[in-house]
Amino acid sequence: MDRHAEAFLEMLAAERGAARNTLAAYEADLSDAAAFLIARGMTLAQADAAGLRAYLAALSAAGLSARTAARRLSALRQFFRFLLRESVRADDPTELLDSPRLPQTLPKYLSEAEVDAMLSAAAARPPAQAVTLRAALEILYATGLRVSELLALPRRALAGDAALLLIRGKGGKERIVPLSDAARDAAAPLLAGTGKWLFPGRDPAVAWTRQGFSQQLKLVALDADIDPARVSPHVLRHSFASHMLARGADLRSLQLLLGHSDIATTQIYTHVLGERLQRLIEQHHPLARQD
């Protein structure tokens, strides 16, 4: 690994609190670009726009998706901006590169009736599982937390009559999210334990893993007569956001609740706004056709 790339990764860890998986992804992307450039006689730190453009063209020729190419270009942009700030380079070659055009995709989410079915199915699981699953689903759907944020909740986070949760999200950023009465009541039985985590794994000293939780979620989906392929922790986060907008929440408030640093990320949910506006016109416009 290039020493400048190592310095960049150290900066991400120290200054931005990047998670281990994030650092590994950046390292893999930069290493791939570095290998391509070295074969053409230049190091990653020395790359010019032409070399980087050739690298992106090679990704496309290899059949990689536009989304993968965009992610790698994003890593390169941040790397060269870092070199510019550190006066390693006097220019940023990525400024001359166009981002790959991404296909527009809408977030996958469940209907409100399907979420209700999931909650009922969770409550009907064997008693040892039901309490934990019901609490996890209630909290996820009530707050829109990321699954990593949910599973990292310490037991003390819900001590007393806590109506708010202090969440440490991506990059160590903190935010406060309200907790519904239903979610708090569902989690109440979990507070009787003595371990650190609200959702412990098989080893009480370790939090429930994402893989373990996702597997249980698929079983709940089957019980609810929902295709398990449509259900994941992130789909529940999308469902929270979509249903909030459909019922009148504004994008800025939703951005704060979800912990998005850029409101552009939150705008993927505006597909719901079009549906809501259509209903408003049908219900209230004087010339709308009445049945």
Could you give the residue numbers annotated as active site? Answer: 146, 170, 234, 237, 260, 269
- Beta-sheet strands, E only, within 159-225: 164-168, 174-178
The single-letter code of the amino acid at 92 is D
Question: Token digits for 235?
Answer: 């789909």
User: Phi and psi dihedrals of 110, rounded to 5?
Assistant: -95, 155
Residue/partner pairs of 80-87 with CB below 8 Å, 24 or more apart: 82/7, 82/8, 82/11, 83/4, 83/8, 83/45, 86/7
User: Phi and psi dihedrals of 178, rounded to 5?
Assistant: -75, 150
- C-beta of residue 133 within 8 angstroms of C-beta of residue 223: no
Rounded Cα gap, residues 268 and 103, in angstroms:
13
Contacts of 193 (CB under 8 A, 6+ apart): 155, 200, 204
User: Could you identify the residue written with the tokens 């698929």?
Assistant: 218
Rounded Cα gap, residues 152 and 242, in angstroms:
24
